[in-house]
Amino acid sequence: MNSLVLGRTLLQQGQSHQALQHFLDGLSHAQVEQSNEAGYWLAIADIVHDSGQFERALSLHQHALSLAEREAHYCSAYLGLAADLWAMGQETAAAPLQAQALAMTVLQNDAVLLAQSARLYQLQQQWPAALAQFEQAVLLVDDGESFMLHWSILSLYLRMNQIDGLPAAISRASSALAHAGASDLRGAMLIKLAQASQACQQFAAAVDFYQAAMLHLAQQKKPQRPRRLREVEFKLQQTTSDIEIDLLRLKNAQQDEQVRLLESTTYRDAVTGLHNLRYLEARWPMLLAQAIDHPSLCVLHLGVDQSTYLRDVMGEAKSNDCSVRIAKVLQDTLPEGAELIAGGQLVFKLMLPASSADLANVLIEQIQHQLALLDFSDLPEALTLSMGGTIYQQGDTVDVLQLRADLALYLAMRHGAGAVVWEMAV
């Protein structure tokens, strides 16, 4: 399964951030193979649009249009541009682009294009037209790839308070639900099915769906918590771990290995010893809260430009050794209050509370200088870090911040070794 198909499958499962990673990987591969990049740029632009960054999505859709080679690319770009313009209040400019897309025959047999068209109709509050497009799209995909389509269909029926056709939609969504497994959205879909059944006065079915939803939520390994509870849970877990570690150290020296495992298992990267992505996930609520109270948070994503060569040619041992050496440089230059995260695959994430882009650029120069002093004589060339950064803006969510930083890092790595790109909210 190629990166574009896998990314779109993840989108259907509601995992936009993971999908973005696959689209960015696909872009890198397309560059190496010198194949067309339009499909990846179109997919990324749609994610950016859905995050509410309409001006940025507009520029990405325009870039994708300039690369388009197939009719499906042109149709997708026209629909994307029309949606961006409409969301920005430029309905007159959006209308002819939408008309061009609707006139293309490829639209009727492509589930992705039909879903794009439905999204545009939703922006225009043309609910019946949107519903028709979604219902046509869902007929073109397998049950395992139709999760979000069924969600949208049920939501539209409920929004329009339309009963005619709803029982059939419930039946189709129920069938697709069997392929959802332990998806994070499974519980939400069960509740949506319960609401739809209730609207049809199928009360016994509604009760079954509600009970299934409660059972599913109870079985989740990582149930969602309100922000404050998550912060308390994180602090409590850290405190408990610290106490357990101290007790083990006091018991006897022979348990040093057990102590090391306890420290590293939950929130530490096995290669570098840095905090890992699970730690960052737990920290995000507090980082965002600080940024809201004192509007300033810089997010830097750092990637080793030679990462593919290190992993595929030099091997895992050499790749891990380089990760450790780079992590040491980053730790030595880390300012007070900053959070350094190992992102895996020779990627690092740096959170700088109460920091501006200017201060971050000074830190970047220090990092690049210290990295240049390392001895890489055992490698064909010295290692370099490209960096992508963004600054918190009022209203930003975690996904939006990480999306901008991911895009900035990708663009930096395209510019050349050691490049730095800032991706700011428009």
Q: For residue 115, is it within any domain?
A: yes
Taking the C-alpha atoms of residue 158 and residue 43, their distance in angstroms, rounded to an integer, is 28
How do residues 154-179 score in pLDDT, each as one tens digit?
A: 999 999 999 999 999 999 998 887 76
Taking the C-alpha atoms of residue 375 and residue 322, their distance in angstroms, rounded to an integer, is 11
Residue 250 has what pLDDT? 53
Contact criterion met (CB below 8 Å) for 37 and 67 = yes
> Are 67 and 215 in a shared domain?
yes
Number of domains in the chain: 3
Q: For residue 272, is it within any domain?
A: no
Residue 313 has what pLDDT? 85
Q: Please state, as a whole number, how many other Cβ atoms lie within 10 Å of the Cβ of residue 382.
A: 14
How do residues 281-309 score in pLDDT, each as one tens digit?
A: 888 888 988 888 776 899 999 999 888 88
How do residues 3-33 score in pLDDT, each as one tens digit?
A: 888 888 777 777 777 888 888 888 878 877 8
> Are 21 and 94 in a shared domain?
yes
Which residue segment(s) compose the domain that 261 sits in?
A: 227-265
Q: Which of 3-12, 181-190, 391-400 has the lowest mean pLDDT?
A: 181-190
Q: Please state, as a whole number, how many other Cβ atoms lie within 10 Å of the Cβ of residue 41.
A: 26
Is the pLDDT score of 383 beyond 80? Answer: yes
> Are 122 and 174 in a shared domain?
yes
CATH number, position 41:
1.25.40.10
> Are 243 and 295 in a shared domain?
no
Position 128 confidence tier, pLDDT thresholds 50, 70, 90:
very high
> Are 173 and 320 in a shared domain?
no
> Are 105 and 241 in a shared domain?
no
Q: Mind spelling out the 3-state secondary structure of the chain?
A: CCHHHHHHHHHHCCCHHHHHHHHHHHHHHHHHHCCCCHHHHHHHHHHHHHCCCHHHHHHHHHHHHHHCCCHHHHHHHHHHHHHHHHHCCCHHHHHHHHHHHHCCHHHHHCHHHHHHHHHHHHHCCCHHHHHHHHHHHHCCCCHHHCHHHHHHHHHHHHHHCCCCCHHHHHHHHHHHHCCCCCCCCHHHHHHHHHHHHHHCCCHHHHHHHHHHHHHHHHHCCCCCCCHHHHHHHHHHHHHHHHHHHHHHHHHCHHHHHHHHHHHHHCCECCCCCCECHHHHHHHHHHHHHHHHHCCCEEEEEEEECCHHHHHHHHCHHHHHHHHHHHHHHHHHHCCCCCEEEEEECCEEEEEEECCCHHHHHHHHHHHHHHHHCCCCCCCCCCCCEEEEEEECCCCCCHHHHHHHHHHHHHHHHHHCCCCEEECCCC
In sequence order, the 6+-apart residues with CB closer than 8 A to the CB of 141 are 12, 111, 149
Position 80 confidence tier, pLDDT thresholds 50, 70, 90:
very high
Residue 116 has what pLDDT? 94
The two tokens of residue 143 are 């049950």
Q: For residue 17, is it within any domain?
A: yes
State how beta strands 297-304 and 347-353 pair.
antiparallel
How do residues 86-126 score in pLDDT, each as one tens digit?
A: 999 999 999 999 999 999 999 999 999 999 999 999 999 99
How do residues 307-327 score in pLDDT, each as one tens digit?
A: 888 888 888 888 999 999 999
Residue 90 has what pLDDT? 93
Taking the C-alpha atoms of residue 178 and residue 186, their distance in angstroms, rounded to an integer, is 10
Q: For residue 246, is it within any domain?
A: yes
Residue 102 has what pLDDT? 96
> Are 110 and 259 in a shared domain?
no
> Are 102 and 167 in a shared domain?
yes
Q: Which of 124-128, 391-395, 422-426 has the lowest mean pLDDT?
A: 422-426
Whether pTM > 0.85 for this model: the answer is no
Is the pLDDT score of 76 beyond 80? Answer: yes
> Are 232 and 379 in a shared domain?
no
Q: What does the buried/exposed string (b/e) look like for 241-259 if buried means 16 or more CB atoms within 10 Å of the residue's CB? A: eeeeeeebeeeeeeeeeeb
Residue 426 has what pLDDT? 45
> Are 58 and 108 in a shared domain?
yes
Q: Which comes out higher in pLDDT, residue 416 or 134?
A: 134
Residue 148 has what pLDDT? 86
Residue 350 has what pLDDT? 96
Is the pLDDT score of 381 beyond 90? Answer: no
Q: For residue 404, is it within any domain?
A: yes
Q: For residue 270, is it within any domain?
A: no
How confident is the model over 182-202, as a mean pLDDT? 81
Residue 286 has what pLDDT? 86
> Are 185 and 245 in a shared domain?
no
Q: If you average pLDDT over every residue of the chain, what do you get?
A: 84
Q: Which comes out higher in pLDDT, residue 15 or 226?
A: 15
How do residues 231-267 score in pLDDT, each as one tens digit?
A: 655 655 555 555 555 555 555 454 455 545 444 556 7
Q: For residue 188, is it within any domain?
A: yes
Q: Which comes out higher in pLDDT, residue 222 or 187?
A: 187
> Are 258 and 282 in a shared domain?
no
Q: For residue 176, is it within any domain?
A: yes
First to last CA, the chain: 34
